Amino acid sequence: MAETERPFTLDDFTAMTQQYSAPLFAFACGFLRDRDAARDLVQDTFCDAWRAVQQRTPPFDLGGDRVDLRRWLYRIAYRRAVDVLRRRRVIHWESLDADDAVVAALPPERISFEDQIAEHDVLHRALTELASPDAACLLLAVVQGFSAAEIAPIVGATPAAVAKRIARAKQRLLASYLAQNQRAHEETRS
């Protein structure tokens, strides 16, 4: 029997948790900016997955195509994350009208511990300021390596809209990032 024709088993599910728990957690952390909530989200996502396994819902009806499984997990995680944010009442949606492009040069690569802390704080704040769908598209693209076409069904948008969200998110993130750096440089000079 071919690998993809056999039933999806508990062993398959276990392997799936081992493969995807860390990257899903990374996505959830970046999106929610709350590790505790991210852990809960990952746990709930895999509970959803297991129920889908029980019900033989695609893509768990057969052995499970790896690509389909990954997309399914992220789609569920995204939906749950949106629910979390809605409950927090911090989610906001924006139109896809084009923003002015933000381009600038970043300071040289910084790797010191103190700089990493500063960088972390800046990105943490900047991500918070992004519209949630934009942040999700950004993280899925830059950190998780999804294409726009793959992100589209996850977030329920067209590939073109996903591309716009990614572009806008990166522009805004860069603006925030640079503004923080600029302030830091001015403080250093003063």
Partner 1 sequence: MNYRDEFDLPLAGPDCAAFAPLLPLAQQGILEPTDRAMLDAHAAGCAHCRAALAAFDQLDAALRRYVLATTAMPPAPEFLVRSALAQAPATASTSDVMEQPMQRQTVPAAVLRRGRTLVASISSFAAVVALALVAALIFSTLHSNNMAGKVPHKTPTAQSTPTTKSTPIPVARVQVDAFTSVSFATPTDGWAVGKHAVLNTSSQNNSIVDGGLIFYHFTNGAWQPVSVPLFAHQVVGLVRISMVAPDDGWAIVQANPGGVLHYDGTSWQMANFPALGDQEAPFLIQMLSRTDGWIVTEVGDVGGGVRIWHYDGTHWTAQPLPAISGFSPQSISMLSANDGWLVGFGSGATAPPYQGVVLRYHQGSWSVQQSIPNFQFTDVSVDSMTDGWATGFKQYADSTGIVHLQYTLLHYANGTWSPSNAVSAQPDSESFTQIQMLSPTTGWLSKVVTARGGVDTTMLYRFDGNRWTLQHTFTSVSNGDNWVPSAFTFLGQTGWYVGAYTIPGNKLVITSSEKLAIYQYQNGQWTAILPEG
Query: Which alpha helices (DSSP H) does the chain contain, by range?
Result: 10-32, 35-54, 66-88, 113-129, 132-138, 148-155, 159-189
Question: Shortest CA distance to 143 belongs to which of 117, 109, 164, 169?
Answer: 169
Range in contact with partner 1 (rule: CB under 8 A) among 14-22, 71-79, 89-97: 14-22
Q: Say if CB 20 and CB 28 are below 8 A apart.
A: no
Footprint of partner 1 on 143-162 (CB under 8 A): 143-145, 147-148
Largest interatomic CA distance in the chain: 72
Q: Say if CB 31 and CB 135 are below 8 A apart.
A: yes
Can you tell me which of 5, 36, 97, 187 binds partner 1, judged by CB under 8 A? 36
Q: Write down the least CB distance from residue 93 to partner 1, Å.
A: 20
Q: Write down the least CB distance from residue 127 to partner 1, Å.
A: 8
Can you tell me which of 93, 103, 188, 189 binds partner 1, judged by CB under 8 A? 103
Footprint of partner 1 on 44-83 (CB under 8 A): 44, 46-51, 53-54, 56
Q: Write down the least CB distance from residue 89 to partner 1, Å.
A: 20
Contacts of 109 (CB under 8 A, 6+ apart): none
Q: Is 123 in the site for partner 1 (CB under 8 A)?
A: yes
Q: Is 90 in the site for partner 1 (CB under 8 A)?
A: no
